[in-house]
Structure 1
Amino acid sequence: MPKRPIYITDLDHTFLRSDLSISDFSTETWNNKAESSIMTIATARSFQKSQELLKKIHINAPMILLDGTIIITPERKLIDLKTINKELGDAIVDVGTQFDIDPFIIGVKDKELNESFLYPRKLNEYQQDVLKGYKDDPRMQFNPNNRTMQQNLKIVYFGYEEQLRPLYEEIQKVFGTNIEAKLSPEKYGGGYFLTLLHSEGDKSHAMQKVMEYLGRGHEEITVFGDSVNDLGMFKLAGTSVAVSNALDEVKAVADLVLPHSNDEDAVARYLKNIG
């Protein structure tokens, strides 16, 4: 019996439309494909938010969440967890203070893997806009002392490139391979964000863990993406597919660049066309 093909897609700017919706066409196409294939996601989103956005979508393999720091099944069975400890987290924050910027911090607050989002004491213009999108989120907590948690999943700086690039370079110099650092443009608001993770908390390491769990090789996977945090998966997967609105550096390493964008159901069109 032939093995079921494996598909892993990013969400924002890849599978989701820019307004975070999923069309009926994408929903139907994905769910039809899930009847004969292994289908899952790799996203910067949390478990709770992914469940909200994908409530009509059938996921039948472990999900890669929060950039790769959590691997968990749709039934909430934990496969892997990669966190930054408080000592390292506070040291990272202290470097950011030298550049006059405080981060958002996402961490694990209890044994049930519920999350806390700590927002900074000082908010630049871009951070203020980001915070507005979370104003009704019960996970948000003010962080007046600018300290991290015992188990930190992500430390994220939002701002503009001229401020974040020097911080990115300094963090790489100070911490080296002890953390994973990614600087990316933020397409929704026009700024940049700097994401800091456990050294093995990125999507590529998480994808390898998922393949070990499934007993399959990474060369058997087709991945879809658009941004910097997808590059590791693109380099490992058997087939890497970029949507037309992907960053140029992502298109450059993709095996295939689709003619359609996320707002044109690019992933679903691809899945439909391959039968």
Structure 2
Amino acid sequence: MVLSDFDRTLADEKNNFIIKQEVVEVVNKFSEKFPFFVVTGRERKYMNILAKGLFPTGWIIENGGIIILRDKEIKLVDEKWYEVRKNLIKVLDKYGIKYSLGEVIVYVNSAIDYKDKLNKINEAKIEWNRSDAMIMPKNVSKGDAVKILKSILSFDGVTIAIGDSQNDISLFSVADIKVAVANALPEIKAISDIVLDKDDGMGVMYFLEKILNESSYLEKLIRLRK
């Protein structure tokens, strides 16, 4: 099972995070043979725009808040969270911090200037993606969602995580093999088993093609787990 982040992993910031068609084609081909999940902090409405034509096995969106499979959808929060979220919004409004609301989490773009204020929030967890912040329930993360996903699917095979940024750390923590794209942050490369030599989707594309086309490479990856 491959679990890949989206922004700056599958999609290039220079292309406004719109995934390239050649990457789409390889991911779709890979998904016909192996489980492939996009694991992103993004909201559903943006994925519908940025990832047109992409048909992975499933999605984990909103940084672990929602799992989307082909036949079902699981929201990993209870109703109490939405009461907490209302109070958090009042705090953000008080500080004059601009935000947007997802189905689960609260997004604060270019939030680095508000880091001290955001870190004072105790009712929720703050996860960072470069300079952007996501405010979410304390029990929600990419890694926690992957654990639940594996349980739902009764999957006990090799898991490969691909990422680039701080909010991929929890994803890496539950993976057998950790892969960083060439443009990943230094702290992500430092905890990776493999660092790709290409940025973003090009790196992921060539990695997937190598698994598809070279049985010896897949066997090597499986040995890495042991």
Structure 2 residue 83 is the aligned partner of structure 1 residue 87: yes
Structure 2 residue 175 is the aligned partner of structure 1 residue 228: no
Distance 1:100 1:49 in 2: 25
1:12 is paired with a residue whose SS is coil
Distance 1:160 1:80, change over 3 A: closer
Q: Deviations over 1:74-114 (max 9, x none)?
A: 45x2133325634312332343345442432223xxxxxxx
Does the 8 Å CA contact 1:165/1:183 hold for their aligned counterparts?
A: no
What one-letter code is carried by the residue in structure 2 that aligns with 1:272?
E
Looking at secondary structure, tell me which structure has more strand per residue. Answer: 1
Q: Deviations over 1:119-146 (max 9, x none)?
A: xxxxxxxxxxxxxxxxxxxxxxxxxxxx
Q: Deviations over 1:142-176 (max 9, x none)?
A: xxxxxxxxxxx111223452x322013211xx33x
CA RMSD of aligned residues (A): 2.2
Name the residue aligned to 1:167.
Answer: 117
Distance 2:100 2:49 in 1: 22
Which of the numbers 47, 52, 55 marks the counterpart of 1:55? 52
Identity %: 23
Name the residue aligned to 2:143.
Answer: 204
Structure 1 residues not aligned, in runs of 5+: 1-5, 108-152, 186-191
Aligned length: 209
Structure 2 residues not aligned, in runs of 5+: 214-226
Larger Rg: 1
Does the 8 Å CA contact 1:157/1:164 hold for their aligned counterparts?
A: no
Which of the numbers 34, 37, 54 marks the counterpart of 1:37? 34
TM-score (norm 2): 0.82
Name the residue aligned to 1:116.
Answer: none
Name the residue aligned to 1:216.
Answer: 155
For residue 244 of structure 1, report the CA deviation from its aligned partner.
Answer: 0.9
Structure 2 residue 2 is the aligned partner of structure 1 residue 7: yes
For residue 183 of structure 1, report the CA deviation from its aligned partner.
Answer: 3.0
Looking at secondary structure, tell me which structure has more helix per residue. Answer: 2
Distance 1:97 1:17, change over 3 A: closer
Distance 2:92 2:44 in 1: 28
Structure 2 residue 125 is the aligned partner of structure 1 residue 180: yes
TM-score (norm 1): 0.69
